[in-house]
Amino acid sequence: MDDGEAVASAAADYQPLYAQVKNRLVQRIGSGAWKPGEMLPNEFQLAAEYKVSQGTVRKALLSLEADRLIVRRQGRGTYVARHTRDNSLFHFFRMVGLDDARLRPASVVLTQRSQRAAKLPAQLLSIAPGAALHAITRLRYFAGRPAIFERIFVPSELMPGLAVQPGVAMEEEMYVIYQERYGISIARASERLAAVAATAEEARHLDLAAAAPLLEITRVARDVNGRAVELRLSRCDTAQARYAAEVY
């Protein structure tokens, strides 16, 4: 072949057309060209714009839907996904009651302050040690009983001026706040679970005996581009609720 070399060099970073279309759509959504809740052009319009067939656009859109960046409804259209209190909570909150019933925890902020990142949080958030962090502690309740003591760390650079009101029940999920105030959508999270003994402070907040066993969840949440946005350390009393996971 005459063009063997051109083909070979092109093959290195080859992506199928639908993947290229998907990437361009991710870019546009990520850059805010369409805002959460807005409708995208239909499949034929996008196909015309990108000079591909409708079937190729379709494949890209189905993949975006699988990634939860968009929502598609037959007869309605395709929309940029939006975090709401209802669905945001249940994509990421995996605690269920002992009878497997879904739980809706109430949340009360205990403290909020700015601090410098220690080594471990810095590493998990992929930032420099000593970088500025928002640190929030809060308590979450099931049916009025304290159940989860939580520490949340967010790089100040990503969310300058982030503020929540201590002492009152939070109306919104943190992820809704990130999206609405800063345009940052949490797309996925990585969790590590361990069993630990409650510290004196935790036992006091959770109304447990000293050194009671707690389920510790270390979660790193990332946006659609894979950037670490939040580190959350949750310590859960599993007398009232358990962590649920489905494995395939």
Dist. CA 244–CA 167, nearest whole Å: 29
- Using alpha carbons, select from 38, 33, 27 the residue that is nearest to residue 79: 38
Q: Please identify, using beta-carbon distances, which residue of 53 and 112 lies nearer to DNA.
A: 53
Can you tell me whether residue 36 is helix, strand or coil? coil
**Cα 89 to Cα 15, 171, 223, distances in angstroms:** 34, 12, 16
Between 55 and 84, how does the x/- string for binding to DNA read (CB under 7 A)?
xx-xx-xx---------xxxxxxx------
Are the CB atoms for 78 and 57 separated by under 8 Å? no
- Beta carbon of residue 148, minimum distance to a copy of itself (angstroms, whole number): 12
219-222 long-range CB contacts below 8 Å, 24 or more apart? 219/92, 219/189, 219/190, 219/191, 220/124, 220/125, 220/189, 220/190, 221/92, 221/175, 221/186, 221/188, 221/189, 222/186, 222/187, 222/188, 222/189, 222/190
Q: Please identify, using beta-carbon distances, which residue of 121 and 156 lies nearer to a copy of itself.
A: 121
Exposure on the CB side of residue 105, measured as CA atoms within 13 A = 28
Q: Applying CB under 7 A, does 11 fall inside the site for DNA? A: yes
- Beta carbon of residue 166, minimum distance to a copy of itself (angstroms, whole number): 27
Q: Please identify, using beta-carbon distances, which residue of 19 and 132 lies nearer to a copy of itself.
A: 19
Number of residues that bind DNA (CB under 7 A): 28
Question: Exposed, middle or buried: residue 159 (CB in 10 Å: 0-12, 13-18, 19+)?
Answer: middle
Q: Please identify, using beta-carbon distances, which residue of 42 and 165 lies nearer to DNA.
A: 42
Q: Applying CB under 7 A, does 18 fall inside the site for DNA? A: yes
Q: Please identify, using beta-carbon distances, which residue of 23 and 123 lies nearer to DNA.
A: 23
**Secondary structure letter of residue 180 according to DSSP:** H
Region from 28-36, 49-57, 118-126, 235-243 binding DNA, contact rule CB under 7 A: 49-57
List contacts with a copy of itself (CB under 8 A): 67-68, 91-92, 94, 96, 100, 187-197, 213-216, 218-219, 236, 238, 242-248
- Beta carbon of residue 233, minimum distance to a copy of itself (angstroms, whole number): 13
Q: Please identify, using beta-carbon distances, which residue of 58 and 151 lies nearer to DNA.
A: 58
Partner touching 72 among a copy of itself, DNA, none, CB below 5 to 8 Å by kind: DNA
- Enumerate residues 160-179 that contact DNA by CB under 7 A: none
- The residues of the shown chain that bind DNA, judged by CB under 7 A, are 7, 11, 14, 16-19, 40, 42-45, 52-56, 58-59, 61-62, 72-78
